[in-house]
Amino acid sequence: MRKIVNLLFKILMAGMVMTFVFTCIPFEGTLSEVREKAGGDGDEDGDGDDFDIPLLINLNEVEEYLSAQAGGNLPTNPVPLRLELDLGNMTNVNHNWLKLIELIDTKGKFVDLDLAGCAMSASNVFSPYKATATGEFYIVGLTLPDAARGIADGTNESPTFLHFSNLKSIIGELVVTIGSSSFCGQKDGDSWKGGNELTIDFPRAGFIGEYAFAHRALPPYYSVLFPNVTVIGDHAFESCPFQSAKFPTTYDLTIGSYAFSGCYNLNELEIPKAVSIGSYAFSGCYFLENVIAPEVTRIGDSAFEGCFRLADVNFNEVVFIGDNAFYRCAFEELSLPKLIMAGDYAFHECAFTTLNLPEVWTIGEYAFKDCQKLESLYMPSVERIGRCAFYFSYGGGTDLCITLGEEPPIVGDNLFYHLTAAKEVTVMIPSTTKAKYGPTPVKEKINDKTWGNAFWYMGYDPDNSAWAVNGGYGHGAGINPPVNNEVDKEIVMEIIFDYY
């Protein structure tokens, strides 16, 4: 009998020692680091858990657990904290969420908080904001509850995660909606406070609200990936310093105005299902070089303005381009096979040498202003060309050949404004329908029904350092230019009309 008692005593003591060792070993590092140390899928005991960190089911266990941990004194060695309880109403001081935050604050330990197994009985929208900061300060990593389907809206002055000043990573496995101004930097008057660097993982997010991550200090070499997003709101990632953005969704994607404006480190963009890009969406993305957007149909005003290095694009389905859409872009060759309308200044100061627009109907005013390198422009379907479309501030550049179609377009005044003899312009017209273009537009026909005042303000008078008025004409093959009969200081410029 005594032997049996001694044996039972030894077993009991062994169990107590095992329990003591389990609760006192500090789990240092982030949850992802602990998973990696565990090896494989991290399920050492085969219980189906993702990793072997204790699963705590009430706040008393949380208090005991945190008290027993040696780590957590710095953000670099947070205590992994894995919970399964009901958060309740996240704004109610009597419910578990705010009690948990107060408890973490009392213990003063930095934590990597995993709430994946927690219930949200009051709402499926994660809404952690409150007026004053307490334990949020100590949260370094955060895994949202699987029950969470959305993140609450904030404001630019009071973002949803304002008080999470040490948060470095957040995971929302089943989050579908990311609210407006949820993770953005804090706006203070006319300036922004960017906050600490944050890595994000929302694999099922379909909607990203306006200003959601604006002015947030995302890591500069970080790649943003949202595989299922369908709406990116206005200013959503404005002035974020990440390097690449990929949205390989299988659904149509709409990108709002200023969505990535000022993302100065962005150099690669993958939006294969984007159908609409809002105004100023990528303006000021100085290092953007490559854009994959084969299904986009509409590009808003100034969408890529100031993208000085943008050289490789795929816009095969675009039908509309807004004003200043590609101002100062660097592509040397561009084909927009389905474009129907290009707005004012659409290609202002672009570097391309060849531009193919086989379906375009309307070209806006100043559309090709100062495209000094443009050599070949193909637009056989164009019906209307706005005034000063080929405005040359610097007078010359490479020679230009423009190919038009069977029907003559309506053209605005001063079509080749400031053109000088340094640049030769040839307009190609179908030989079979040249009669439709009316009389060859020589100076005497300056008010011709087809060309109107298109050739005004061409030529430069070096004697008077001024641009000549009404100083241009055009002529066709075999037709002599008009004689200059007592026209004071007229500098005659030539637009050559040829046939194909």
HEC string of 40-64? Answer: CCCCCCCCCCCCCCCEECCHHHHHH
Q: Do 170 and 263 share a domain, yes or no?
A: no
Q: Do 183 and 122 share a domain, yes or no?
A: yes
- Cα 224 vs. chain centroid, distance in angstroms? 10
In a domain, 489, yes or no: yes
Query: Which two tokens mark 60?
Result: 């008393």
pLDDT at res. 224: 85
Query: Which two tokens mark 353?
Result: 């040498």
In a domain, 341, yes or no: no
Between 409 and 22, the higher pLDDT residue:
409
Q: Do 407 and 456 share a domain, yes or no?
A: yes
Among 112-126, 157-171, 456-470, the range scoring the smallest mean pLDDT is: 456-470
CA dist 384 and 408 (Å) reads 9
Q: What percent of the chain has pLDDT over 70?
A: 76
Query: Which two tokens mark 417?
Result: 């404004």
**Strand, helix or coil at 114?**
strand
Q: Do 172 and 90 share a domain, yes or no?
A: yes
Of 175, 203, 231, which marks where a domain is finished?
203
pLDDT at res. 17: 34
CA dist 272 and 253 (Å) reads 9
pLDDT at res. 53: 86
Residue type, 22: F
In a domain, 126, yes or no: yes
Q: Do 191 and 312 share a domain, yes or no?
A: no
pLDDT at res. 221: 65
In a domain, 66, yes or no: yes
Q: Do 176 and 35 share a domain, yes or no?
A: yes
Q: Averaged over 138-144, what is the pLDDT?
A: 96
Q: Using an 8 Å Cβ cutoff, are 275 and 295 in contact?
A: yes
Q: Using an 8 Å Cβ cutoff, are 403 and 378 in contact?
A: yes
> What is the CA angle 233-235-238, rounded to 5?
135
Q: Averaged over 163-169, what is the pLDDT?
A: 92
Closest of 288, 304, 296 to residue 272, by C-alpha: 296
pLDDT at res. 134: 87
CA dist 109 and 131 (Å) reads 21
pLDDT at res. 395: 58
CA dist 255 and 337 (Å) reads 22
Q: Averaged over 78-84, what is the pLDDT?
A: 96
pLDDT at res. 422: 64
Q: Is the pLDDT of residue 136 over 50?
A: yes
Closest of 333, 330, 300, 335 to residue 316, by C-alpha: 335
CA dist 290 and 310 (Å) reads 6
Angle, to 10 degrees, between the axis of helix 59-68 and the axis of helix 2-24?
80
What are 426-445's pLDDT values in tens digits?
Answer: 888 888 877 776 554 433 33
In a domain, 16, yes or no: no
The listed range with the strongest mean pLDDT (48-62, 325-339, 386-400, 456-470) is 325-339
Of 203, 232, 267, which marks where a domain is finished?
203
In a domain, 213, yes or no: no
Q: Is the pLDDT of residue 178 over 90?
A: yes
**Strand, helix or coil at 363?**
strand
What are 391-424's pLDDT values in tens digits?
Answer: 886 656 678 899 999 888 888 887 887 776 667 8
Q: Do 254 and 317 share a domain, yes or no?
A: yes
Q: How confident is the model at residue 481 (pLDDT cuts 50, 70, 90)?
A: very low
Q: Do 377 and 429 share a domain, yes or no?
A: yes
Phi and psi at 33, nearest 5°, equal: -70, -40
In a domain, 12, yes or no: no
Query: Which two tokens mark 81?
Result: 């904290």
pLDDT at res. 37: 43
Q: Do 98 and 198 share a domain, yes or no?
A: yes
Q: Averaged over 188-203, what is the pLDDT?
A: 82
Q: Using an 8 Å Cβ cutoff, are 151 and 160 in contact?
A: yes
Q: Using an 8 Å Cβ cutoff, are 125 and 147 in contact?
A: no
Domain count, the chain: 3
In a domain, 336, yes or no: no
* Mean pLDDT, all residues of the chain: 80
Largest CA distance in the chain: 136
What are 218-239's pLDDT values in tens digits?
Answer: 776 678 889 999 999 999 999 9
Q: How confident is the model at residue 179 (pLDDT cuts 50, 70, 90)?
A: very high
Range of the domain at 450: 349-357+368-500
